[in-house]
Amino acid sequence: VCAQVEASPGKCWQKVLYERQPFPDNYVDHRFLEELRKNIYARKYQYWAVVFESGVVIQQLCSVCVFVVIWWYMDNGLLTPQWLFGAGLASSLIGYVLFDVIDLGVGRKESGRTRWADLKSTLVFIAFTYGFSPVLKTLTESISTDTIYAMSVLMLLGHLIFFDYGANAAIVSSTLSLNMAIFASVCLASRLPRSLHTFAMVTFAIQMFALWPMLQKKLKARTPRCYVGVTLLFALSALAGLLTVSGVAALLFALLLVSISCLCPYCLIRLQLLKDNIHGPWDEAEIKDDLSRFLM
């Protein structure tokens, strides 16, 4: 509690340090609390806007789920590498056309690359991946399968943690996130029966973790309604695929998606009401002048 004393006649208290005043150091007058402000920097969120933004997290969780389910199908002989490569190639072609259509809708091609350059890059990538697939297949032969599975789980978790969801934070690293996902795909692909399986799996990983997020970002920025529809279809597809593997895992994954898309936005908005940040004359002083001339 601040000590309060009456000012001497004709002497008013001033909030200055350079002048000696007949008041204790902890004295403040009635004007002190008049400058009090609460939650002046607090952001107000709308529920459906937060639900819409959570779609990025949902998409990435579903991408990891679809990748793991496809790998399980390949490992158990339920899916051939020829079919996976063909379906992935067709999906990539559709996504490329859709990406181009969105660019034409805004009147310009943002990447600045020609279709011929994109085709050459695709052919080079496919050729190198197919040529090195025998190496990738035998890359982890000296490592136990349990270690491979553990490393893959950690890498996929790291991919989810460091992925760029749109937040401006130091932990975000798109390059690290992509590298961890590709490392996990190489580890899992090396446990498949043949080199062709490894080639198809690594190619699918590139499409899922590198190309698919680019299309997501484009859809979200240009066609929000289409983005919502694609997110719902993708989530249902991931749940349907996981249901064929394990009913319990599908149920838990569905609860996770509902919690992230519905429950977490509600909790965020409710917690905003409990904010009580205060700002006033006791705040830390900020030096606005350019002091670089004193540092030379």
For the chain, give every domain's residue range.
1-32, 49-272
Note whether 51 and 262 are within 8 A (CB): yes
CA 27 distance to own-chain centroid: 50
Specify the length of the chain in residues: 296
Q: What is the pLDDT of residues 5-22, one digit of tens each?
A: 444 455 677 777 777 777
Tokens of residue 13, six digits: 């208290």
What is the C-alpha separation between 148 and 188, in angstroms, rounded? 7
Note whether 183 and 136 are within 8 A (CB): no
Average pLDDT value for residue range 243-263:
94
Q: What is the pLDDT of residues 141-173, one digit of tens each?
A: 888 989 999 999 999 999 999 998 887 777 888
The whole-model pTM stands at 0.79
pLDDT reported for residue 23: 77
What is the C-alpha separation between 167 and 172, in angstroms, rounded? 8
Percent over 70 (pLDDT), the chain: 87
The candidate with the shortest Cα–Cα distance to 246, out of 256, 234, 257, 238, is 238
DSSP 8-state code for residue 81: H
Residues 6+ apart with CB under 8 A from 99: 214, 215, 218
Q: Is 180 left (phi over 0), alpha (psi -120 to 50) or beta?
A: alpha
Q: Among 93-107, 138-152, 235-249, name the one with the lowest average pLDDT.
A: 93-107
The candidate with the shortest Cα–Cα distance to 229, out of 219, 239, 221, is 219
Note whether 69 and 238 are within 8 A (CB): yes
